[in-house]
Amino acid sequence: MELQINDWGLIPYADAWNKQEVLFNTLVQAKQNGESYTNHIILCEHPHVYTLGRSGKEQNMLLNDKQLEAINASLYHIDRGGDITYHGPGQLVCYPIINLEEYSLGLKVYIHLLEDAVIGVCADYGITAGRMENATGVWLDTGTPRARKICAIGVRSSHFVTMHGLAFNINTDLRYFSYIHPCGFVDKGVTSLQQELNREIPMNEIKDKLASKLKVLLLSANAQ
């Protein structure tokens, strides 16, 4: 079993999507042919971009093409689950491309595993985070009027191989969320580690913590 951590740095969304597709298709093909393969955890940031999932609603994007151009952002319709979300500098995006069967994971448990990793990173900084009923992702102050999202999750799975993943707000410019209804919610806030702690967090520090927690959770799932 091989699990490789890849840091792609700041990469345009379309380039990352294409590279994901190559790794995803390679893994699926190797799996079908009974050949050896590598599982990947990809870490990166993107220039300003909005992505709309398969079940997303166009009206949750509040800007037209000209307005998007004015804020140096673009919009992509993509093949993950979920509605609309934002990616940009200061946000850690993580794309695990893994064979779920190798880790004895169903899709729902896998999504919980991603959430657990982010909840663990938040705890390292003294922040209590958790899940919210009827919503994916990681939230703060769930069950209160102050509920706000710190991490969005949207995945695609085919042949029990995953792509896409999570978007964790670290030093994110949260103004960009005001141009959408994030994940389709009109009454919930968005936050970042920087906003909660009132200081900038080194991105490499977060990358190391998240990758480490994901590896531990995946290995423990496989051992069960």
Give SS3 for 83.
coil
**Integer Cα distance of 29 and 58 in angstroms:** 34
Active-site residue, from 44, 122, 151, 183: 183
Told to judge if 44 belongs to the known catalytic residues of this protein, a careful annotator would answer: no
CA distance 80 to 67: 25
The answer to whether 185 touches 114, Cβ cutoff 8 Å, is: no
The neighbour count for residue 47, using CB atoms within 10 Å, is 14
| 23 CB-side CA count, 13 A | 23
In the numeric block, which tokens belong to residue 149?
């999202």
Place of tokens 């307005």: 67
Which residue's entry shows tokens 């919930």?
188
Q: Is 126 exposed, middle or buried (0-12, 13-18, 19+ CB in 10 A)?
A: exposed
Active site residues: 183
